Amino acid sequence: MKEIVVSGIRPTGNLHLGNYFGALRNFVKMQEDYDCRFFVADLHALTTQPDPKTLHINAKNILAEYIAAGLDPEKATIFVQSDVPEISEMYLLLNMHVGIGELMRTTAFKDKARKALGIKTDSVSESDDEAIEHQIIGTESNKRVNAGLLTYPTLMAVDILIQKASKVPVGKDQEQHLELTRRFARRFNSFYNTDLLVEPQNFNFGAAAVKVPGLDGSGKMGKSEGNCIYLIDDEKVMRKKVMRAVTDEGPKVPDSPMSEPIANLFTLLELTSAPDVVEHFRRAYADCSIRYGDLKKQLADDIAAVTAPIRQRIMDIQANDEFLSRTVSRGAERARAAAADTLAQVKQVMGIKKF
Ligand code: TYM
């Protein structure tokens, strides 16, 4: 029996290089050897209250981008989270074993709560935590942190646990959520004295989880940071973004330490370019002969080599409604069969029985 793999991406916009190198690239490789179940996390997208008009369009975009990047519905199960209602039911059940405190302490929750409440993310401090707690409890504000945002990790844990997945390919930003998933599984198993739930591990073919940086000098590439290169970006647009990436005035003495913006450019180069190319620029940096313009041009060429073939396929697949709906209805059927099994077992151990 093949090991089970689960992962998903929220339909909050088009996929960027962070999603690709952090997750999707591994999805495509893993479908060859594992029992893979990849989904569009539309219920998770609801935690940030998207416009109902765009939610479905975005979900369709992600599906098309999955397939354009190489996911094959003949090899992997591809589905939409909301097509598997068993997930929502188990989410309710698992929440009975999850503490409000541990949810409030997760980094992703604190970041998103800060955004929802209009507290600046770059001033992360203890007093912010207190401000968040105050405003969460206070009622006069029309800015609200919804309960779905708080219980986001429970829903994510259920996505994984309901399929009994042992491997979860995700980027570094999701590691804390995976840690919680393992903790919830352990807690459930020990409370009911069972080994029903499987503790999953992050997977990146033996390497550490990836954090793709943005082009603005600091932090990760992210939709809400406005620093993304999208798979769908026209080549000219992509090149412009790369050429405008933040740099510094260059190394003045040999073997200088790298500033964050330059280290970020090297991280992107390592993800997209051949090892000898990276080595060439590393040497040039070390002996102060580097020209950032050359590095950026090389980076843009190598990004184009990854994204151009994907971009061309996205449009065709998006236009094929019949193929997409066939793919997800078959995917949902398979995902539901496994989910219904686990849900029935969970209910059984929790003492929920039919009269
Ligand atoms: P989401 O939609 O934010 O991101 C999808 C995937 O892309 C990865 N990623 C990155 N990796 C490296 N560098 C970056 N800059 C970067 N930006 C995004 C994320 O790590 C992720 O793998 N909670 C999840 C979706 C989810 C899920 C699940 C994942 C819901 N249920 C069950 C796995 C299993 C999320 O919000 O990902």
Identify whether 353 is a catalytic site residue.
no
Mean pLDDT in residue range 155-179: 98
In the annotation, is 167 catalytic?
no
Q: Is the pLDDT of residue 14 over 80?
A: yes
DSSP 167: E
State which amino acid sits at residue 326.
R
Q: Are 169 and 27 in contact (CB under 8 A)?
A: yes
Q: What is the mean predicted confidence (pLDDT) over 203-220?
A: 94
Are residues 224 and 115 in contact, defined by beta-carbon separation less than 8 angstroms?
yes
Q: Is the CB of 170 under 6 A from ligand 1?
A: yes
Q: Tell me how far CA of residue 109 lies from CA of 40, 47, 132, 186, 249, in angstroms.
A: 20, 11, 10, 22, 37
Centroid of ligand 1 to alpha carbon of 354 (angstroms)? 37
Q: Assess whether pLDDT exceeds 90 at residue 141.
A: no
Determine the Cα–Cα distance for residues 198 and 167; give it in Å rounded to an integer: 10
Q: Is 211 in the pocket of ligand 1 (CB under 6 A)?
A: yes
- Kindly give the interhelix angle for 321-350 and 52-68, rounded to the nearest 10 degrees: 100
Question: Among 5, 6, 9, which is best to mutate for testing ligand 1, by the most ligand atoms less than 8 A from CB?
Answer: 9
Give distance in angstroms: CA of 63 to centre of ligand 1: 15
For ligand 1, say whether the CB of 167 is within 6 Å of any of its atoms.
Answer: no
Distance 349 CA to ligand 1 centre (A): 31
Q: Residue holding tokens 């429970």?
A: 154
pLDDT tens digits, one per residue of 83-114: 999 999 999 999 999 999 999 999 999 988 88
Any ligand 1 atom below 6 A from CB of 40? no
* Other CB atoms within 10 A of residue 203 CB: 21
Q: Which residues of 26-48 are buried (b: 16+ CB within 10 A; e: fewer)?
A: bbbebbeebbbbbbbbbbbbbbb
Residue 123 has pLDDT above 60, yes or no: no
Which one-letter DSSP state was computed for residue 47? G
Q: Which of 93-107, 211-225, 325-339 has the lowest mean pLDDT?
A: 211-225
> What per-residue confidence (pLDDT) applies to 343?
98
The DSSP result for 47-73, as a single string, is GG---HHHHHHHHHHHHHHHHHTT--T
Q: What are phi and psi of 135, to 5 degrees?
A: -70, -30
- Give residues with Cβ within 8 angstroms of 52, minimum separation 6: none
Query: Which burial class, exposed, middle or buried, applies to 247 when counting CB atoms under 10 A from its CB (0-12, 13-18, 19+)?
Result: middle
168 lines ligand 1 (CB under 6 A): yes
Ligand 1 atom having least distance to the Cα of 156: 31
CA dist., res. 113 & res. 119, Å (int): 8
Give the contacts of 101 (CB within 8 A, at least 6 positions apart). Answer: none
Contact 26, 69 (CB under 8 A): no
Report the alpha-carbon distance of residue 16 to residue 233 in Å, rounded: 9
Atom from ligand 1 closest to the CA of residue 174: 20
Q: How far apart are CA 57 and CA 91, in angstroms?
A: 25
Confidence tier at 51 by pLDDT (50, 70, 90): very high
* 134's tokens: 């105050």
The protein residue with its alpha carbon nearest to ligand 1, atom 1, reads 9
pLDDT of residue 226: 86
What is the per-residue pLDDT for 139?
57
Which amino acid appears at position 246 of this protein? V
Return left, alpha or beta for 351; rule: phi > 0 is left, psi -120 to 50 is alpha, else beta.
Answer: left
The DSSP code for 289 is: -
- Average pLDDT, whole number, for the chain? 94
Distance 9 CA to ligand 1 centre (A): 6
Name all domains of the chain by residue range, CATH numbers in brackets: 4-98+151-211+320-350 (3.40.50.620), 235-316 (1.10.240.10)
Tens digits of per-residue pLDDT, 270-301? Answer: 999 999 999 999 999 999 999 999 999 999 99
- Ligand 1 pocket check for 22: Cβ under 6 Å: yes
Residue 145 is predicted with a pLDDT of: 86
In this structure, are residues 215 and 16 in contact, taking their beta carbons and an 8 Å threshold?
no
Q: Is 164 a catalytic residue?
A: no
Q: Is the pLDDT of residue 121 over 80?
A: no
Q: What is the DSSP letter of 150?
A: H
Over residues 297-324, mean pLDDT: 96
Give residue-wise pLDDT tens across range 234-266: 999 999 999 999 999 999 999 999 999 999 999
Q: In angstroms, what is the span from residue 234 Cα to ligand 1's centroid? A: 24
The answer, yes or no, to whether any atom of ligand 1 lies below 6 A from the CB of 210, is yes
Burial of 85 (0-12, 13-18, 19+ CB in 10 A): middle
- How far apart CA 229 and CA 239 sit, in angstroms, is 9
Residue 35 has pLDDT above 80, yes or no: yes
Choosing from 112, 164, 241, 296, the catalytic residue is 112
User: Does ligand 1 have an atom closer than 6 angstroms to the CB of 328?
Assistant: no
* CA separation for the pair 243, 101 (Å, rounded): 44
The number of the ligand 1 atom at minimal distance from the alpha carbon of 6 is 34
